[in-house]
Structure 1
Amino acid sequence: MKVYGSIASPFVQRVLMAGRIKGHDLPVELPPGGSMQAPEFLAISPMGRVPVLDDDGWTLAESAAIVGYLDDVLDGPPLLPENPRDRARARTIETLASHELAGLRPIMVCKVFGMRNEPVLVDEAISTIRTGLAALEKARDANHVWAAGDSPTVADCILVPLFSLMDVIDPIAGTSALVAEQPGLAGYRERAFASELGGRTVREMRDTFAAILERRRQPAQQSS
């Protein structure tokens, strides 16, 4: 079993965290064909997105589906709480994080990578993220250590990588301050980042993103 993608991706990290919670370290490889645009990769990921799971030649795209599959087939702790209400809370937080924090994509495109200059789009994205974080603050039980309980769940698998991304790009995009506006989430982020599980995600994403940004700077410096 292996994962195609990059450990810089929060959605790849979502899958890796799920595996680690269950006690399994999944290897990560480059997409078949060497890129997300390669025909070999598009054959197994119709939207051209990472991650893709390869389980002995059988492939599965989309991170949420992969996390659910790993919970079904791998031994180890379950990724959802036993209590039905806590399970519902975990799924709510997972859905809110996946959908409402998607505003990070235009921020990455416009501010981090400078591929487009659309300040209105960035402002709208920040507004969406701020609203989503406020909803996440209300969805959480303040007594829980992790996002939806006292053990990590599917909710943490998406929240920790996305918060890690917001932390990594903060010097460029000022995104960490958005989390700080919600005291419950800010406390959760601090605990998660200090944990062995969350800290590994943060380190992997920070180191990989630094290398990506450095590679992007070099051609610009050479052409100037």
Structure 2
Amino acid sequence: MSDQPESKKQLHLTFVEMLFALAIGQIAIDVSKLIDYRAISEQTVWAVIPACSHLFLAAVVISTSWVGWRNSRFCGTQITDVFTLDYIELFIDIALVVMYFILARAVEIPNSPNATISPNASFEAWLVAIIITTYMFWDLISGRGKLKEKFTQRLWVSFCCTVISWLLVWHGIGGVGTVSAVLFADLCLIALILTFRAMKRCDFSKHDKKSWGLIVFMLILVLIFFIGSTGL
């Protein structure tokens, strides 16, 4: 009987990990489609850079999320009833992985040799902002404890990155329809995701100078790539 709670927790883990596998599998499918397109298309390599950068963004988002989720103290909670915070946590896990799948599936890959790719990263910017906002809600309900303790431990990270992500969307990141602008926009979003993960490595009070240095460096990259994406 003592093994039953652990088996229920393992069921939660296995279910979400299967969804992660489906999301990363979509990237593999899109990469193969892109290779097929390049084999029969007369378009230059430069023309497929936006699709490549979108796929790289999706791969970074999915892989870093899996590592962060798997190493979280609150992943794979035991669910005994749908009317509990644990079920809401599972629902958010599923919603996040579905968004990862959409991020990978939405990559613009032409389906004919003469088709061209229209460079744009607005959708990716919106979706990443929604994903990071969902991280904040996950942090809010996961685990137990007072709100002040949650904020100083992990909620401050998702809150700060949520604000940054929506500021990027508000200032029109990804809206400039050139290959270089889309590339910089995707790099900016990747830098933001890595900033989030760098900030998530430990509680606010436990970051040392080296850790803060990495966070500041990543934020500088976010700013540089954002400027490149908007042509300011």
Higher strand share: 1
**Bigger relative contact order, structure 1 or 2 (CA pairs below 8 A, ≥6 apart):** 2
User: TM-score scaled by structure 1?
Assistant: 0.30
Task: Look at both structures and tell me which one has the larger radius of gyration over its CA atoms.
Answer: 2
Q: Could you state the TM-score of these two structures normalised by the residue count of structure 2?
A: 0.29
